[in-house]
Structure 1
Amino acid sequence: MKRKATVLFGAAVAGLAAIAALAQQQGGEAHMDGVTFLGEPVTADELALGQDLYAANCASCHGADLEGQPDWKRRLDSGRMPAPPHDETGHTWHHADRQLFTITKLGVGGVVPGYESDMPAFEGVLTDAEIRAVLAFIKSTWPDRQRAFQADVTANDEGGS
């Protein structure tokens, strides 16, 4: 009898876990654990869209594996900086979501007026939702340590760029 009760209890726990997982879904899209943008959970569909958009719009400079251009810390002959990596070896994760969004939408000059960069502005190319998806995809590739650091930076960002 004790074994039967244990089996029934295990089945009940599994059932509750399944119900909890379903309850975490919003609009039929499961949220990806630990990936947020401006504090809001990111869905699996957003990450898939972001991955596709990254490949189409960003990988040619920042690398298919987010590795950046070679010698990305050394200025080019033009005086501009190469495209940095967006993986954990770069500095993208040091910036708040709002700043990353502004840089992507308006170019680096949107955050540092007058700064000359080869980074194009994606305003008019990508929608705000698409920019969010790309940035969420990039964030999803970071190890927990970098993601947690960046979440703190975002939480402490007071709305400035």
Structure 2
Amino acid sequence: MTRHIAFRLLSMACIVLLGACDAGPPAGSRLLPDDAPTVALGRKVYDAQCAACHGAQLQGQPNWRERDATGRLPAPPHDATGHTWHHPDEVLFRLTKLGVARAANLKDYVSAMPAYEGVLSDAEIVAVLSYIKSQWPADIRRKHDELNASAAAQKP
């Protein structure tokens, strides 16, 4: 199985698992990549909270698809080369707020990604994710918008 197919299957599994999680996103968790004040706040939060691992240019860490000596995956890029845009807004929000293990209900999952609940407000989480999306090329943003529409259509 190619990495691309395996990744797509993992992405779909995350969406299903997150749908079963108890902590839903707030009503205003939709990203706002075209809202200048939100993106400006997001850049500030990204620089302070995310850039140390994910890179000042959203480039992520080297070999981000391969587990390190501790069994953890390095921080992935948030630019167009990464997989961030493969997840709908709601999933990105929950992963950021709750951390991977809790968001995906994977009790024993080990990750270097911290949960930002209690560190960042919901508005700051939306802002940082909006900043990230604002940096993607137009075609990637369009694909992400389509993914959001598909995820919304699948909700009961």
Q: Report the TM range for the smaller structure's normalisation.
A: 0.7 to 0.9
- Deviation of 1:39 (Å): 6.8
CA distance in 2, matches of 1:79, 1:118: 10
Structure 1 stretches lacking a partner, 5+ long: 1-36
CA distance in 2, matches of 1:155, 1:70: 32
Label 1:145 to 1:127 Cα distance change in 2 as closer, same or farther (>3 A).
same
Structure 2 stretches lacking a partner, 5+ long: 1-28
> Retained in 2: the 8 A contact 1:99–1:111?
no
Q: After TM superposition, what 4+ stretches of structure 1 lie above 2 angstroms from structure 2?
A: 37-42
- Of 137, 140, 145, which aligns to 1:143? 137
Same amino acid, percent of matched pairs: 52
SS at match of 1:93: helix
Question: Which amino acid counterpart does residue 30 of structure 2 have in structure 1?
Answer: L
Residues 46-73 of structure 1 show CA distances to partners (whole Å, capped at 9, x for unaligned) of 1000000000000000000000011111
CA distance in 2, matches of 1:84, 1:152: 22
- Deviation of 1:112 (Å): 4.6
- Of 104, 110, 118, which aligns to 1:116? 110
Aligned residue number for residue 5 of structure 1? none
Aligned residue number for residue 11 of structure 2? none
Task: Give the aligned CA root-mean-square deviation in angstroms.
Answer: 1.8
- Of 143, 147, 152, which aligns to 1:153? 147
SS at match of 2:72: coil
Correspondences of 1:4-15 after superposition (within 5 Å): none
- Which is strand-richer, 1 or 2? 1
Query: Quick check: which has more Rg, 1 or 2?
Result: 1
- Of 128, 137, 149, which aligns to 1:134? 128
> Quick check: 1:56 aligned with 2:48?
yes
Aligned residue number for residue 94 of structure 1? 86
Question: Which amino acid counterpart does residue 66 of structure 1 have in structure 2?
Answer: L
Aligned residue number for residue 78 of structure 1? 70
TM-score by length of 2: 0.74
Label 1:78 to 1:39 Cα distance change in 2 as closer, same or farther (>3 A).
closer
> Quick check: 1:44 aligned with 2:36?
yes
CA distance in 2, matches of 1:88, 1:41: 15
SS at match of 1:151: helix
Aligned residue number for residue 13 of structure 2? none
